[in-house]
C-alpha cells in the first residue's frame, strides 16, 4: 500500500496546526434548516440542566432529585432495600455479570494496572485528568499550581491510609495565569455535582462486598492490596453506584476539553481510563462506572450552559489559548494513538453488557447537551450540534442507558468526529478568518443518510470516513478534502470551491454520480504513483483549475497518467493546469480520451 508523507501523523498535525489560531466560541452563522432535533418530553424531575441544583444529600427521591432521576433506569435492575445490604436483584443476569467482570479482571490485572489504580484512587481527580492534556500536562500543572502530594506509592501503603493533600474539589490557584481554567473546573465540580445523594438512594454494594457475601468471607481479595486501607469501615455510607471518582474524573476532563478542544478526544479517553481504573482497583463495578459517566455528562452540560458560568467559560477558553497552548509542550502523550483511544473509549461505554430492551428506539438529545461541543465544533449552530449528537448516539436497549432525556446514549467521542448521518440537507459554513477549527477540521465518521451536504465559507473540512450518504455534495466555498475513497458518499459532486483528492493507498476517490466543476472551481489530485486519481461513475463536467501534486520522492518518467475516469463521459475542459513537485526536466499537458482525463509527461 502506498503512503503519502503529507498524511503521516494526520491527527497530530491537524490538532497542533490550529493551536496558534484564535477560536471564538460563538458559532459561525449557519444556513437555516427546517429540520430540528426536538427536545424530549420533560421527565418527572424536569429537564436536568434546569434542575441540576436539586442534587442534594437531603433530597432522596426520583421525582425531586434530577441526578437520581437520570440514573433511575437502575431501578429496572435493582430495588434498594431498607439497608445497605438487603436490596433485591431485578435483573440477576445483568447484575451477576456486573460483579463477575470485576472478579475476572482482578485475576488478570498486572502490577502496572494496580499501580495506576492506586494513583487514580489516591490523587485528586482534577490532577489525574490533566494527563489528557498530553504535551501540555506539566505546563498546565505548573502554571495553574495544580499539585499532588502523592509522588509514589509508599512501602507501607498496604497498611496505612495515605490521603491526598487536597480537601477541595478544584485543585490549582484561581489567581494563577490559568486561574479561569481552574475556576471553570471548580464550577463544573461544584456543590451540586456529587454522586453521594445517588449512592445513598440506590444502596448498591461495592463489588468486593458482593464477593464477600457470595464467598462467606471478609478477605477483600479483589481489591488492589495497596488500596485495602482505603476500604470504608462504614458500608452503610459507602455505596457503589454511581462511582464518585468516575463522576469527578469526567467533570474535570470535560471542563478541560471545553477550554482545550484540541485535546477533546484525548481528555475523554483519559476520563474513561480513570473510570476503568476503579474497576481494576476492585472498588467499583462497570455499572458504577457507567453511572458515573452518565451523571458527569449531564452535570457538565448543566454547568456549562448555566448563564452564571457564561463569562467564566469564555475566559477559561481564552486563557487556554493565550497562555497554555503557547507553552512548549514537553510532557509525554500517552493518548497519541487515535485508533487505540477510540477502541478503549467505545468499549468502556457499555463494558460488554448486552441489550435488555428494544434496540431500535429513536435517539433523543437532552436539553442543552449541545454545549458539550460548543468549542469543538464552533462553526456549527447549536441546532447542528444537536444533530451531530443525534446521529452519533448509542443504540437503545443497554442497561441503565435509556434515560428519558438521552444522557446515557450520548457518544461524545464519535460526536467530535462530526455528523454520523445527513438525514436532511446540511450546510456547514466555516470562516477561516476566525482561526482554529473554524479554519480547518477533520470529520472521521462513516456518514450515512439521504441528505445533501454543502460546504460553504472559506475554511477547510477533511472527510476520512467510508460514507454512504446519497444526497450529493456541493462545495460552495472553501475546501473539502477527501482522505478516503468513499469520503463523498454515493451521490454527485458539484464544485465551485476547492476539492482535494488525498486518498491513501492504492484506491481511487470514487464519485458515485456526476462530478461538475465550475469556472471558479479548483481540483487538486495527489500523485504518488500510477494508481492515483478519481473515478467518476457518472459524467464529468470539467472546468476551472486542475492542480496535480506529485508527492516528495515521486519517480517521474515520460508517459501517460490517468487522473480521472468518467463512466458517463467527459464534457468541457479544465481551463488551467498546474503541477507541483514534478521533477525538473519534465513538461505536462492534459489529454481527454475515451472518458478519461490523462496527464501526459514528456521530457523537455
Query: What does each C-alpha distance from 355 to 360, 400, 402, 410 come to in angstroms?
Result: 11, 10, 10, 16
Cell 426536538 appears where?
38
Specify the pLDDT at position 121: 95
Mapped onto helix, strand or coil, the DSSP state of residue 71 is coil
pLDDT band for 213, please (50, 70, 90 cuts): confident
Confidence check: pLDDT of 136 > 60:
yes
For 182-203, how does the pLDDT look when each residue is reduced to its tens digit (9 = 90+)?
999 999 999 999 999 999 999 9
Question: Cis peptide leading into 242, omega within 30 of 0?
Answer: yes
Specify the pLDDT at position 506: 64
pLDDT band for 158, please (50, 70, 90 cuts): confident
For 578-591, how does the pLDDT look when each residue is reduced to its tens digit (9 = 90+)?
999 988 889 999 99
For 264-280, how does the pLDDT look when each residue is reduced to its tens digit (9 = 90+)?
999 999 999 999 999 99
Specify the pLDDT at position 161: 62
For 540-577, how does the pLDDT look when each residue is reduced to its tens digit (9 = 90+)?
999 999 999 998 877 888 999 999 999 999 999 999 99
480 beta partners: 461, 499
pLDDT band for 162, please (50, 70, 90 cuts): low
- Cβ atoms of 454 and 428 within 8 Å: the answer is yes
Q: Indicate the average pLDDT of the chain.
A: 92
Specify the pLDDT at position 583: 82
Mapped onto helix, strand or coil, the DSSP state of residue 5 is helix
Query: Residue range 326-340: average pLDDT?
Result: 96
Query: What does each C-alpha distance from 402 to 78, 101, 107, 394, 416 come to in angstroms?
Result: 15, 22, 32, 10, 22
Confidence check: pLDDT of 159 > 60:
yes
Specify the pLDDT at position 164: 53
- Cβ atoms of 74 and 202 within 8 Å: the answer is yes
Specify the pLDDT at position 221: 79
Q: How far apart are CA 183 and CA 384, in angstroms?
A: 29
Confidence check: pLDDT of 323 > 70:
yes
- Is pTM, for the whole model, over 0.95? no
Sign of the torsion formed by the C-alpha atoms of 207, 210, 212 and 214:
negative
For 348-398, how does the pLDDT look when each residue is reduced to its tens digit (9 = 90+)?
999 999 999 999 999 999 999 999 999 999 999 999 999 999 999 999 999
Q: Is 519 exposed, middle or buried (0-12, 13-18, 19+ CB in 10 A)?
A: exposed
Query: What does each C-alpha distance from 265 to 19, 117, 344, 373, 384 come to in angstroms?
Result: 16, 21, 11, 11, 19
443 beta partners: 463
Confidence check: pLDDT of 1 > 80:
no
How many C-beta atoms lie closer than 10 Å to residue 580's C-beta? 12
Confidence check: pLDDT of 434 > 90:
yes
Q: How far apart are CA 381 and CA 285, in angstroms?
A: 38
Mapped onto helix, strand or coil, the DSSP state of residue 565 is strand
Amino acid at each position: 500500500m502506498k503512503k503519502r508523507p503529507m498524511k503521516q501523523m494526520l491527527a497530530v498535525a491537524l490538532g497542533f496546526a490550529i493551536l496558534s489560531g484564535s477560536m471564538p466560541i460563538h458559532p459561525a452563522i449557519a444556513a437555516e434548516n427546517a429540520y430540528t432535533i426536538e427536545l424530549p418530553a420533560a421527565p418527572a424531575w424536569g429537564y436536568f440542566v434546569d434542575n441540576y441544583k436539586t442534587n442534594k444529600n437531603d433530597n432522596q427521591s426520583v421525582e425531586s432529585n434530577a441526578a437520581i432521576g437520570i440514573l433511575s433506569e437502575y431501578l429496572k435492575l435493582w430495588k434498594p432495600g431498607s439497608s445497605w445490604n438487603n436490596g433485591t436483584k431485578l435483573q440477576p443476569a445483568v447484575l451477576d455479570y456486573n460483579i463477575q467482570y470485576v472478579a475476572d479482571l482482578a485475576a488478570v490485572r498486572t502490577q502496572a494496572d494496580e499501580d495506576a489504580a492506586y494513583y487514580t484512587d489516591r490523587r485528586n481527580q482534577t490532577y489525574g485528568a490533566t494527563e489528557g492534556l498530553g504535551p501540555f500536562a506539566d505546563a498546565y500543572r505548573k502554571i495553574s499550581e495544580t499539585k499532588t502530594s502523592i509522588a509514589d506509592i509508599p512501602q507501607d501503603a498496604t497498611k496505612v491510609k495515605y490521603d491526598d493533600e487536597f480537601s477541595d474539589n478544584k485543585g490549582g490557584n484561581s489567581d494563577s495565569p490559568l486561574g479561569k481554567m481552574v475556576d471553570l473546573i471548580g464550577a463544573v465540580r461544584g456543590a451540586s455535582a456529587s454522586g453521594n445523594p445517588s449512592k445513598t438512594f440506590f444502596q448498591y454494594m461495592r463489588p468486593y462486598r458482593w464477593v464477600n457475601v457470595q464467598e462467606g468471607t471478609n478477605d477483600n481479595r479483589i481489591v488492589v492490596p495497596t488500596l485495602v486501607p482505603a476500604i470504608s469501615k462504614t458500608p452503610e455510607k459507602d455505596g457503589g453506584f454511581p462511582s464518585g471518582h468516575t463522576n469527578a474524573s469526567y467533570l474535570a476532563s470535560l471542563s478541560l476539553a471545553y477550554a482545550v478542544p484540541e485535546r477533546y478526544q484525548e481528555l475523554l479517553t483519559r476520563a474513561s481510563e480513570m473510570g476503568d481504573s476503579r474497576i481494576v482497583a476492585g472498588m467499583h463495578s462497570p455499572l458504577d462506572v457507567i453511572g458515573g459517566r452518565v451523571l458527569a455528562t449531564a452535570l457538565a452540560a448543566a454547568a456549562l450552559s448555566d448563564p452564571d458560568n457564561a463569562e467564566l467559560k469564555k475566559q477559561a477558553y481564552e486563557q487556554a489559548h493565550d497562555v497554555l497552548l503557547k507553552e512548549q509542550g514537553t510532557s509525554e502523550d500517552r493518548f497519541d494513538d487515535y485508533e487505540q483511544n477510540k477502541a478503549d473509549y467505545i468499549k468502556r461505554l457499555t463494558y460488554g453488557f448486552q441489550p435488555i430492551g428494544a434496540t431500535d428506539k429513536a435517539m433523543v438529545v437532552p436539553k442543552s447537551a449541545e454545549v458539550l461541543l460548543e468549542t469543538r465544533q464552533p462553526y456549527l449552530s447549536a441546532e447542528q450540534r444537536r444533530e451531530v449528537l443525534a446521529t452519533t448516539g448509542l443504540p437503545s436497549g443497554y442497561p441503565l442507558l435509556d434515560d428519558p432525556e438521552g444522557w446515557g446514549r450520548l457518544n461524545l467521542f464519535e460526536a467530535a468526529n462530526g455528523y454520523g448521518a445527513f438525514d436532511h440537507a446540511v450546510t456547514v459554513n466555516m470562516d477561516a478568518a476566525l482561526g482554529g477549527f473554524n479554519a480547518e477540521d477533520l470529520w472521521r465518521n462513516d456518514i450515512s443518510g439521504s441528505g445533501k451536504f454543502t460546504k460553504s465559507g472559506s475554511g477547510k473540512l477533511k472527510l476520512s470516513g467510508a460514507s454512504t450518504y446519497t444526497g450529493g455534495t456541493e462545495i460552495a466555498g472553501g475546501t473539502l478534502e477527501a482522505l478516503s475513497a468513499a469520503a463523498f458518499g454515493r451521490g454527485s459532486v458539484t464544485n465551485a470551491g476547492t476539492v482535494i483528492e488525498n486518498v491513501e493507498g492504492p484506491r481511487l476517490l470514487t464519485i458515485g454520480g456526476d462530478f461538475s466543476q465550475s469556472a471558479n472551481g479548483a481540483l487538486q489530485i495527489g500523485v504518488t504513483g500510477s494508481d492515483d486519481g478519481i473515478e467518476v461513475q457518472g459524467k464529468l463536467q470539467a472546468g476551472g483549475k486542475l492542480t496535480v501534486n506529485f508527492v516528495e520522492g515521486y519517480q517521474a518518467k515520460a508517459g501517460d497518467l490517468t487522473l480521472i475516469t468518467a463512466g458517463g463521459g467527459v464534457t468541457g475542459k479544465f481551463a488551467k493546469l498546474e503541477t507541483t513537485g514534478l521533477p525538473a526536466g519534465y513538461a505536462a499537458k492534459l489529454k481527454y480520451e475515451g472518458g478519461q482525463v490523462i496527464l501526459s509527461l514528456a521530457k523537455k
